[in-house]
Structure 1
Amino acid sequence: MTQTCTHCGFTHNCYCEAIPTIASDLYLTLLTHPNELGRATNTGKLIAKMLAQAEITEWQRKQPCPRCTGESNLYPPVLLFPSENSVSIADWQAQHPGKSHFIVLDATWQEAKKMLNRSTWLQSLPQVHIESAQASQYQLRRNQQGGNLCTFEVCAQLVRELGDEDEANAMLTFFNDYLQRFQAERSGHALHR
């Protein structure tokens, strides 16, 4: 009888040994919508397994996350969210040399917009956006809007724009492999290579 991996939760296609260790000093919080925590298709959980300074925190509408407000960390918090008020990562870094604490909304795009609109504490944070021209490889959910990246792809692009090209490529290579394993796992069989 096949055992389910206690770390990744897969039965036929364990991906634990494929997870790269990413040597990035990126300081990151995935502010996760409560609905996202139980979804098998969540990709934020993968980021927390490969980036040493990444943490998953459940979003609370009225209660700011102390880690995200700057009260409990050394680095200025900045929300990664494309908007009229956001600046590019390059512009942000030019204006704020040194490390920053990046906050990524880990949710569907519709949920992420609601999270921002419903939380004045999130609205008060400076906002940045990534400059990605790549198409998303993520096809695990229906009703996806064209041009949007999933949480994992956003974080990989952030790593790239912060100057870690090789690490970003390693992340995306793993992600392509993970997507194949996920599809095979969902079908109930081992991936044949």
Structure 2
Amino acid sequence: MPHAVSLLRAARLARSTKPFLARGGFKRERCTGCRLVPSHCMCAVRPAMAARAGVCLLMADIEPLKPTNTGWLVADVVGDTFAFGWARTETDPALLALLDDPQWQPYVVFPGQYAAPERVVEDVAPGASKRPLFILFDATWAEARKMFRRSPYLDRLPVLSLQPERITQYELRSSGRGDHFCTSEVAAMCMGLAGEHAVGQTLDAYLAVFTHHYLRAKNQQPVAWDGDAHSRLRELATQRS
């Protein structure tokens, strides 16, 4: 069954007047389930998991179309992942309904220095009756800052400011800064704060597998199914079983 990012991608493609050509990507047939060429498909290792916490992706216009997008990986792994296209002039009513759903406690995940101090939190309330819903801007850093400033419907929500003790491991796009994380890495950190440690670890391992498959396909090399990335993902699956 298609997940939220897959559905958003299909809707965005339906509105396109010309084919989307990924800059620097391979121009071959792609699997609809993982966006990789069929020879390097990774659908068989998709680790879908149930979690109390959820993720809401606000995606920049063409982000769902990019083969390097990692919001797709979050939707693969986290059962309750929602995805909405972001626009300055209009807001999807379904997004507003989600933010008002009484089962969720939404957190806008963004660096605290960009928000009023009274909004900023650095942790998720333990044992809260409401389920945490992490709102992530799935975009370039420049786009994300604009989206944060121009989304007034988020102004009433707490801002979760992460304090990472690591640098990014994402290799498929680079901002030149180790403290700029891709979407799946941010989601993994959020899951850890929510006590969903297995989900967070699985997201990190799944990103490593995706990176391996993508780069091997790009360089026309075979997948190393017994390599470190796949071994780690299998180890985590064994621990859950």
Shift of 1:17: 1.4
Number of the residue aligned with 1:114: 146
| Residue 74 (structure 2) aligned to one of 47, 50, 56 | 47
Could you list the runs of 5+ residues in structure 2 that have no partner in the other structure?
A: 1-27, 226-241
CA distance in 1, matches of 2:86, 2:70: 16
Q: TM-score of the superposition, structure 2-length normalised?
A: 0.70
Q: How does 1:1-193 map to 2 (within 5 A)?
A: 4-11=30-37, 12-69=39-96, 70-72=99-101, 74-84=103-113, 85=117, 86-90=120-124, 93=125, 97-193=129-225
SS at match of 1:64: coil
Given residue 117 of structure 1, which amino acid in structure 2 is its aligned partner? R
Given residue 79 of structure 1, which amino acid in structure 2 is its aligned partner? V
Shift of 1:151: 0.3
CA distance in 1, matches of 2:92, 2:101: 9
Alignment check: 8 A CA contact 1:130 1:161 kept: no
CA distance in 1, matches of 2:191, 2:73: 14
Structure 1 residues 66 and 79: CA distance shift in structure 2, 3 A: farther
CA distance in 2, matches of 1:133, 1:67: 35
Alignment check: 8 A CA contact 2:108 2:160 kept: yes
Query: Deviation string for 1:112-137 (max 9, x for gaps)?
Result: 00111222223343211223212111
Number of the residue aligned with 2:11: none
CA distance in 2, matches of 1:191, 1:98: 42
CA-atom RMSD in angstroms: 2.3
Structure 1 residues 73 and 185: CA distance shift in structure 2, 3 A: farther
Bigger mean CA deviation after superposition, 3-12 or 13-22: 3-12
Given residue 156 of structure 1, which amino acid in structure 2 is its aligned partner? A
Shift of 1:144: 3.4
Query: Deviation string for 1:75-101 (max 9, x for gaps)?
Result: 2322111123321124xx159653132
Structure with higher RCO (Cα < 8 A, 6+ apart): 1
Alignment check: 8 A CA contact 1:28 1:101 kept: yes
SS at match of 2:131: coil
Q: TM-score of the superposition, structure 1-length normalised?
A: 0.86
Provide the aligned length of Structure 1 versus Structure 2. Answer: 190
CA distance in 1, matches of 2:145, 2:127: 26
Query: Deviation string for 1:6-50 (max 9, x for gaps)?
Result: 311322211111221223121221010113122111100111111
CA distance in 2, matches of 1:150, 1:80: 13
CA distance in 2, matches of 1:50, 1:80: 19
Given residue 74 of structure 1, which amino acid in structure 2 is its aligned partner? Q
SS at match of 1:34: coil
Alignment check: 8 A CA contact 2:102 2:130 kept: no
SS at match of 1:89: coil
CA distance in 2, matches of 1:5, 1:40: 11
